[in-house]
């Protein structure tokens, strides 16, 4: 989308998923808010964005908190996301498969209209990318991948596979759990396999979902049924069924009919029989946390810094919080005419976010 073959920026973000794209939108507002020259931002993404399909639910969804909703409003995209499809949830039911433990949450107990929002990944990313296309402060390199990195005294230079060369005093890694930037710059991580994989898909249920998130903890992993709302039709749910790897592979090999029967039993018929299932996807689960999020001129954001089990639905919300804090520290440094890639600046971001993420 960008024709320039060589350019210098104030910041380069690699990864235009939900967190990286949101960070770009927030960075683009710094000059506007402080009545100064806007930052120049390069956003590099290797894959063309997935379009939102209103006729079919995206199997990948995020549970968006109220705080993350406010951030997306600041990005200028929440209304567009709502216009596509958002499923508020008003209650949660969590229970133990092998005991009597059970806990319930209800929005009325905290005097709120809901507890959060189930949003399809494609609705979020397509809305963010549409906003980025309108922001003159951001140059989008997509599809483009990083070929080489060169660390210099006052900048990091990236060579891309479209023959562009871009540089900036600050490189932000928002390139996901398998971050190439984290690996290239040899950030130390603490990590282990959960020895589990998550089955994700969309199901049709006999009874309406009651705008309630349901989660059952079983010996081989938790099952979450996340309520979807398609113009008032509440008989669809997105599921995240985390299972020991061997059991997950067995479930994936079942026919749709047999899978629905197994899922009905696993959910203890909380929504009646499971009547239908879309295409299933299997996602390996691994925990990672970088010992440091920053080094001179490089900052890790979102899953590039930390990835966790999906059972609490907090992954992308932690990433959005990372983006907000990093942008605040960049804005503060710029107002003081500091080097945006200086370690002193970036360590403030790390100090504010790492304890919370831990």
End-to-end CA distance of the chain: give it in Å, rounded. 38
pLDDT in tens, 227-274: 999 999 999 999 999 999 999 999 999 999 999 999 999 999 999 999
The Cβ of residue 219 has, within 10 Å, a number of other Cβ atoms equal to 8
Over range 210-219, report the average pLDDT: 95
Q: How far apart are CA 339 and CA 154, in angstroms?
A: 9
pLDDT in tens, 271-286: 999 999 999 999 999 9
With CA atoms as reference, report the closest residue to 186 among 286, 298, 319: 298
- Name the β-bridge partners of 322: none
Residue 179 and residue 304 in contact, taking contact as beta carbons nearer than 8 Å: yes
pLDDT in tens, 118-148: 999 999 999 999 999 999 999 999 999 999 9
**Backbone φ, ψ for residue 307 (5° rounding):** -135, 140
pTM for the full model? 0.95
Over range 83-93, report the average pLDDT: 97
Question: If pLDDT is split at 50, 70 and 90, which confidence band does 192 have?
Answer: confident
- What angle is formed at CA 125 by the lines to CA 64 and CA 148, rounded to 5 degrees? 120
Question: If pLDDT is split at 50, 70 and 90, which confidence band does 99 have?
Answer: confident
* Cis upstream peptide for 178 (omega within 30°): no
Region of 195 (left: φ > 0; alpha: ψ -120 to 50; beta: rest) is left
Query: How far from chain centre, in Å, is Cα 164?
Result: 27
Residue 44 and residue 12 in contact, taking contact as beta carbons nearer than 8 Å: yes
CA dihedral over 57, 62, 65, 66, signed as positive or negative:
negative
Asked whether the predicted pLDDT for residue 1 surpasses 60, the reply is no
Residue 216 and residue 266 in contact, taking contact as beta carbons nearer than 8 Å: yes
Question: If pLDDT is split at 50, 70 and 90, which confidence band does 3 have?
Answer: very low
Enter the tokens of residue 333.
Answer: 């440094």
pLDDT in tens, 15-59: 999 999 999 999 999 966 556 788 999 999 999 988 999 999 999
pLDDT in tens, 70-85: 999 999 999 999 999 9
With CA atoms as reference, report the closest residue to 41 among 180, 215, 177, 174: 174
Rg of the chain over all Cα atoms, to the nearest angstrom: 21
Average pLDDT, the chain: 95
């Amino acid at each position: 989308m960008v024709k320039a073959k060589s350019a210098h920026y104030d910041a380069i973000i690699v990864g235009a998923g939900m967190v990286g794209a949101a960070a770009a939108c927030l960075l683009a507002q710094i000059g506007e808010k402080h009545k100064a020259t806007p930052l120049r931002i390069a956003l590099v993404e290797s894959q063309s964005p997935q379009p939102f399909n209103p006729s079919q639910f995206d199997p990948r969804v995020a549970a968006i908190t109220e705080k993350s909703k406010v951030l997306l409003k600041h990005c200028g995209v929440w209304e567009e996301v709502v216009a596509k499809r958002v499923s508020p949830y008003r209650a949660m039911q969590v229970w133990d498969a092998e005991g009597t433990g059970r806990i319930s949450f209800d929005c009325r107990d905290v005097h709120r209209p809901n507890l959060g929002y189930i949003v399809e990944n494609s609705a979020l990313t397509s809305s963010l990318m549409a906003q980025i296309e309108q922001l003159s402060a951001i140059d989008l390199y997509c599809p483009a991948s990083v070929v080489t990195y060169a660390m210099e005294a006052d900048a990091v230079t990236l060579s891309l596979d479209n023959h562009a060369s871009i540089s900036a005093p600050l490189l932000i890694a928002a390139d996901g759990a398998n971050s190439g930037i984290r690996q290239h710059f040899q950030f130390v991580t603490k990590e282990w396999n959960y020895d589990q994989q998550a089955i994700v898909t969309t199901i049709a249920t006999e009874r309406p979902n009651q705008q309630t998130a349901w989660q059952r903890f079983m010996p081989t992993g938790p099952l979450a049924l996340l309520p979807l709302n398609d113009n008032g039709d509440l008989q669809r749910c997105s599921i995240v069924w985390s299972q020991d790897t061997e059991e997950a592979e067995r479930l994936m090999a079942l026919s749709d009919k047999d899978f629905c029967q197994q899922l009905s039993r696993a959910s203890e018929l909380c929504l009646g029989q499971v009547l239908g299932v879309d295409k299933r996807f299997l996602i390996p689960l691994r925990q990672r946390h970088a010992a440091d999020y920053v080094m001179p001129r490089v900052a890790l954001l979102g899953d590039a810094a930390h990835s966790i089990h999906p059972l609490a639905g907090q992954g992308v919300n932690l990433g959005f919080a990372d983006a907000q804090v990093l942008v605040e520290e960049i804005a503060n440094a710029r107002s003081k005419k500091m080097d945006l890639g200086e370690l002193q600046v970036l360590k403030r971001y790390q100090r504010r976010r790492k304890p919370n993420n831990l």
